[in-house]
Structure formats: structure tokens, C-alpha cells
């Protein structure tokens, strides 16, 4: 039980890392300081972690990386939409 609690806590914290940046980018429409390479690597990283979570049947990891992948894709869309 403790393992699941720690897993879900880590998922919540890990997933929330990109939310402030995505929100700021959306509100300010300024994305010049965001690296597209970093965003693409982050998307790829989320996909790999999602695959790993599915392979080991880890619900916290699966949930975390679905949300993280959605946030990462939104951030890429914002970057493309508001680039100069």
C-alpha cells in the first residue's frame, strides 16, 4: 500500500512540473525561450515511460505519463502556434 501511495505522490509531483510553464506560455504567448528540442525529447521521454509503465503494469506510472504526455503535447502546440 505504501508503494502505491509513494507512486501516486511521485506521479502527481512529476506530472505537475510542466503545468506552470505551459500556463505561462499560453498566457504570455511568449515561447522564444522554450527549446523545441527539449520539448520533443520530453515527449519522447513520456512515451518511453508510458511504455515501461504498461509493461510492468504500474498504474501510477501509467497515469502520470498519460497526463505528462498530454501536457507536453500541449506545450509543443503552444510553441508552434506562438513562435515568431
pLDDT at 14: 81
Cell readout for 38 is 527539449
Q: Residue 84 pLDDT > 80, yes or no?
A: no
The residue count of the chain comes to 84
pLDDT digits (tens, 9 = 90+) for 30-74: 998 889 999 999 999 999 999 999 999 988 889 889 999 999 999
Beta-carbon count within 10 A of 14 CB: 16
Neighbours of 77 (CB within 10 A): 13
Best CATH choice for the domain 2-82 from the list 3.90.1150.10, 1.20.1280.290, 1.10.10.60, 1.10.510.10: 1.20.1280.290
* pTM for the full predicted model: 0.81
Q: Is the pLDDT of residue 11 over 90?
A: no
Task: Please give the pLDDT value at position 80.
Answer: 94
Amino acid at each position: 500500500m505504501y508503494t502505491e501511495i509513494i507512486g501516486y505522490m511521485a506521479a502527481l509531483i512529476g506530472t505537475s512540473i510542466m503545468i506552470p510553464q505551459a500556463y505561462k506560455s499560453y498566457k504570455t504567448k511568449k515561447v522564444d525561450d522554450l527549446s523545441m528540442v527539449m520539448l520533443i525529447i520530453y515527449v519522447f521521454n513520456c512515451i518511453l515511460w508510458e511504455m515501461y509503465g504498461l509493461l510492468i503494469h504500474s498504474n501510477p506510472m501509467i497515469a502520470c505519463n498519460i497526463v505528462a504526455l498530454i501536457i507536453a503535447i500541449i506545450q509543443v502546440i503552444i510553441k508552434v502556434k506562438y513562435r515568431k
